[in-house]
Amino acid sequence: MKKKLIKAIALVCALAAVLSVAACSQGKKLMTLGRQAVTVNMYEFFLSRQKGLLCTPYYYGNKALSEDFWDTTITPDGMTYNDYWTAHIIDSIKLYIIALYLFEEVYNLTLPKSAVEEVDTKLYELVEYDADGSRTAFNAILAQYGVNYNMLRNIYLLEAKVNYLQVYLYGTDLSKVSDAVKEEYYQNNYVRFKQVFFPNYYYVYETDNDGNVIYYDPDSGTILYDSSTGIRKFDETGKALTDEDGKVIYYNEDGSIAYDKKNGVPAVTFDENGRYKTAKHSSDELKKIKKDAEEAAASVEPGDTEAFEKLIEKYKTEVIGLEEVDYPNGYYFRTNMPYNYDYINAIVSKLSTMEVGEVGLVESDFGWHVIMKYELDAGAYAKEDNTEWFEDFGSGVVDWLFRRKCADYLGEIVFNEELAVGIDMKSAMPNYNY
C-alpha cells in the first residue's frame, strides 16, 4: 500500500511539473501580425507533429528518434536535418499567422458553425478515446507537445480557418485557378526525365530441387520447358512425365530439368516481411555493371530521344512477381522538396544542372541511373497516365499561390527569435496522433 501511495504521489508531482512547464510558456507570443499572434506553445506543437510524421516509415523511420540523426549534414554548406526541418516549421508558422491575419483582418471571414462543431466533435472523441473522458488526463498527454486542451482547440480552429481561407481564394479543387496559372506552377516546379537503371543487386529467383532457376510462361504463369533441346522421361506405362499443371517435363542429359530460358521469365522470391529477396553482385560484376552504365550514357547523343528509348528497351527486364510499372511519359518530380529516398534527391539535384536532352549518370545505393532530361510536356498534370506523379498537385498549386500572396506580409511579422532558442526539431517529442 505504501509503495502504491509513493507511486501515486510521484505521478501527481510529475504531472504537476509538466503542466507547470506548459503554463509558464502559455501566452508567450513568438510572432505577431496586426492583432494576431502565434505562441511558443503552438511552435512546440507544430514541431512535435512534424517530427511524428518524420519518424514514420514514410519518411525517416525510427532513425529519426536518434539525436545523432538530426545532426547529420544534408547540404554542402553544413545544413543539418535539424536546421532544415526547424526552419521549415518556422516558415510554416509565418504562413499561419499571415493566413490568420487575412482571415480576421483583411477579408473579415467567419468560420462556419459546422466547421467549429467538427473541431469540437473531434476533440470530444480524442478525450474519450485517449483519456477515458478525462480532460485532466488529456492535458497530461498534450503537455509533452507543449499544449493543453484549449490550445489544441485553438490550433485546430486556426487550421480550419486556413483551409476555409484557401478555398475562399482558390476554390474547391482549384475551381478559381485558371489553366494558365496551373501550367505556370507546373513549368516552374517540376522536372521530367526517363532512365535506364543498372542495379548493383540481383533478385533471388525461385529455384527447383537442383538449385536451378525456374522459368515461367509470362502469360499463363505455368512452367515453360525447353522442348527443342530437352528430352522426355516416361513412367512404367510409357506415359511422358508431367508436372502438376499437366505439362510434359523436358530434361537435360544430366537429369536436370530443361527450362525455356529464351521465352520464359524467372519468378522473384520474398522474405518474411514480404519484401523482394535480393543479393549484391560480386566486386568484379559491379565493375562490369558500372562500365556498362558509363558506356550506355556515353552512347546517346544529347537530344537523341529515339536512341535513349531504344536503350530503355534494351535493358528492360521482365520477372514474374515483380511489379514493373511502365511510365510511358517518364518520371515527374517536384524540384523544391526533399524526398524520402536519397537517390531521388540525387537525381533531382543532377537534373537541375542539366539541359533538356542532356544525358547524365547518377550513382546511388541501389546502382547506376542513366538519365535523360526531357522537356516538360504541357498539361502533364491532367493526364490519366501521370496520376501517380501529381497526386499532390492541387495542394502544391494552392501552397505556391498562397506563398506568393503571403510574401507581401512577411516583412510585417514581429518575430521574437529569443523565445525560439533551444526549441527545435531535435528536442521535440514526436507527436503521432494530434
Least confident segment among 10-14, 105-109, 301-305, 342-346? 10-14
Q: Over range 67-91, report the average pLDDT.
A: 94
Of all residues in the chain, what percent carry a pLDDT higher than 70?
A: 94
Q: How many domains does the chain have?
A: 3
In a domain, 311, yes or no: yes
User: Whole-model pTM above 0.85?
Assistant: no
Alpha carbon distance 223, 208 (integer Å): 11
Whether residue 228 is found in the same domain as residue 342: no
- SS3 string, the chain, reads CHHHHHHHHHHHHHHHHHHHHHHHHCCCEEEEECCEEEEHHHHHHHHHHHHHHHCCCCCCHHHHHCHHHHCCECCCCCCEHHHHHHHHHHHHHHHHHHHHHHHHHHCCCCCCHHHHHHHHHHHHHHHHHHHCCCHHHHHHHHHCCCCCHHHHHHHHHHHHHHHHHHHHHHCHHHCCCCHHHHHHHHHHHEEEEEEEEEECEEECECECCCCCECCECCCCCCECECCCCCEECECCCCCECECCCCCECEECCCCCECECCCCCECEECECCCCCECEEECCHHHHHHHHHHHHHHHHCCCCCCHHHHHHHHHHCCCCCECCCCCCCCCCEEEECCCCCCCHHHHHHHHHHCCCCCCCEEEEEECCEEEEEEEECCCCCHHHCHHHHHHHCCHHHHHHHHHHHHHHCCCHHHCEECHHHHCCCCCCCCCCCCCC
In a domain, 39, yes or no: yes
Q: Over range 225-251, report the average pLDDT.
A: 96
Whether residue 136 is found in the same domain as residue 217: no
Q: Which of 357, 342, 256, 260 is nearest to 306 (CA)?
A: 357
User: What pLDDT does residue 27 have?
Assistant: 67
Whether residue 262 is found in the same domain as residue 366: no
User: What pLDDT does residue 324 have?
Assistant: 72
Whether residue 76 is found in the same domain as residue 224: no
Whether residue 321 is found in the same domain as residue 235: no
**Would you place residue 346 in the very low, low, confident or very high pLDDT band (cuts 50, 70, 90)?**
very high
User: What pLDDT does residue 9 have?
Assistant: 35
User: What pLDDT does residue 10 have?
Assistant: 38
Whether residue 160 is found in the same domain as residue 194: no
The CATH number of the domain holding residue 329 is 3.10.50.40
In a domain, 7, yes or no: no
**Would you place residue 17 in the very low, low, confident or very high pLDDT band (cuts 50, 70, 90)?**
very low
User: What pLDDT does residue 136 have?
Assistant: 97
Report how far apart, in Å, the C-alpha atoms of 97 and of each of 37, 50, 161, 164, 395 are: 7, 18, 11, 14, 19
Whether residue 58 is found in the same domain as residue 168: yes
Q: Which domain holds residue 367?
A: 187-202+282-392
pLDDT at 323 over 80: no
Q: Over range 55-59, report the average pLDDT.
A: 90
In a domain, 6, yes or no: no
In a domain, 14, yes or no: no
In a domain, 303, yes or no: yes
Q: What is the pLDDT of residues 395-424, one digit of tens each?
A: 999 999 999 999 999 999 999 999 999 999
Whether residue 250 is found in the same domain as residue 326: no
Whether residue 313 is found in the same domain as residue 380: yes
Whether residue 46 is found in the same domain as residue 83: yes
Whether residue 128 is found in the same domain as residue 33: yes
In a domain, 432, yes or no: no
Least confident segment among 52-56, 71-75, 378-382? 71-75
Whether residue 234 is found in the same domain as residue 167: no
In a domain, 425, yes or no: no
